[in-house]
């Protein structure tokens, strides 16, 4: 199995790339004297729609990368164990199925808002200038196609990466690393609502309920389910006790 790596840094670089592309679309047209009423307006609006999520993505993943660095350095670790190959494979398949469902719902919601906001911009442009900026429409359509590709490919890439990742589970005060991926409850965007050790109903599991800001609704909840090997059940009980005691 591969060693654990800080994959959250990839998100930082992606956020920076999106930010730079957005900034270029906003700054370059006026610098080169582009007609703002013809193509400049469409490019600038598209740039703003890229710039804002790019900055937000960079900020969020930078925080996640710092948490991952601390976990990999062994800071504030509450428990850690490894799965055998069969148990690890089963957990990866279950998580991949949940990820595909979440991404589909998120993508549909993003498309709805993009069509609504984009339609408002197109209508304003038409009533102001008597014509539609097809460059702006094409940019919006291209961006939605890009998001669709990401929503489709992300679970596939995650599954491929998780299948090769370390089977080690690390639980800290700020999050859980499982299949090489981080689930965190560090504020301001996430908060740990509860952690439970469930036994007597099949395979013993730790269930972390995390509240986070959602694109779909203001607040949503996600359950991170961590199977517990028979030899680690006492460690799981200690995790529940320590995290429920934290403010």
CA dist., res. 160 & res. 99, Å (int): 13
Question: Could you tell me if residue 59 is inside a domain?
Answer: yes
Token pair recorded at residue 100? 């595909």
Token pair recorded at residue 115? 């069509």
Question: Could you tell me if residue 2 is inside a domain?
Answer: no
Sheet holding 219-227, edge to edge: 190-198, 205-213, 219-227
CA dist., res. 12 & res. 81, Å (int): 28
Over pLDDT 70: what percentage of the chain?
A: 62
pLDDT interval class at 1 (50, 70, 90) = very low
DSSP state of 180: T
Question: Could you tell me if residue 237 is inside a domain?
Answer: yes
The phi, psi pair for 207, rounded to 5°, reads -120, 115
pLDDT at residue 234, as a whole number: 93
Question: Could you tell me if residue 3 is inside a domain?
Answer: no
Contacts of 131 (CB under 8 A, 6+ apart): 125
pLDDT interval class at 51 (50, 70, 90) = confident
CA dist., res. 156 & res. 59, Å (int): 25
Contacts of 234 (CB under 8 A, 6+ apart): none
Question: Could you tell me if residue 169 is inside a domain?
Answer: yes
Total-model pTM: 0.69
Q: Which domain holds residue 97?
A: 8-245
Question: Could you tell me if residue 1 is inside a domain?
Answer: no
User: Across residues 38-43, what is the average pLDDT?
Assistant: 63
Show the DSSP H helices in 165-198 as ranges: none
Dihedral sign, Cα of residue 199, residue 99, residue 8, residue 59: negative
Number of domains in the chain: 1
Q: Which of 16-20, 43-47, 148-152, 222-226 has the lowest mean pLDDT?
A: 148-152
Sheet holding 168-172, edge to edge: 77-82, 168-172, 175-178, 181-184
The phi, psi pair for 114, rounded to 5°, reads -65, -40
Site of tokens 């199995």: 1
Token pair recorded at residue 82? 């490894």
């Amino acid at each position: 199995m591969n060693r654990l790596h800080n994959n959250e840094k990839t998100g930082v670089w992606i956020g920076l790339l999106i930010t730079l592309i957005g900034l270029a679309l906003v700054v370059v047209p006026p610098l080169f004297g582009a007609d703002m009423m013809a193509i400049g307006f469409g490019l600038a609006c598209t740039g703003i729609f890229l710039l804002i999520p790019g900055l937000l993505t960079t900020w969020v993943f930078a925080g996640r990368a710092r948490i991952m660095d601390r976990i990999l350095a062994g800071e504030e670790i509450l428990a850690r164990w490894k799965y055998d190959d069969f148990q690890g494979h089963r957990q990866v398949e279950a998580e991949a199925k949940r990820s595909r469902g979440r991404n589909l719902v998120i993508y549909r919601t993003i498309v709805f808002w993009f069509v609504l906001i984009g339609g408002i911009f197109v209508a304003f442009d038409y009533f102001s200038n008597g014509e539609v900026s097809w460059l702006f429409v094409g940019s919006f359509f291209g961006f939605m196609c890009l998001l669709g590709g990401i929503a489709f490919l992300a679970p596939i890439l995650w599954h491929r990466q998780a299948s090769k990742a370390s089977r080690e589970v690390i639980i800290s005060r700020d999050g859980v690393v499982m299949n090489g991926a981080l689930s965190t409850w560090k504020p301001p965007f996430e908060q740990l609502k509860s952690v439970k050790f469930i036994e007597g109903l099949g395979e013993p599991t730790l269930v972390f309920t995390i509240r986070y800001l959602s694109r779909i609704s203001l607040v949503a909840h996600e359950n991170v389910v961590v199977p517990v090997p028979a030899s680690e059940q006492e460690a799981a009980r200690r995790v529940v006790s320590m995290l429920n005691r934290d403010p």
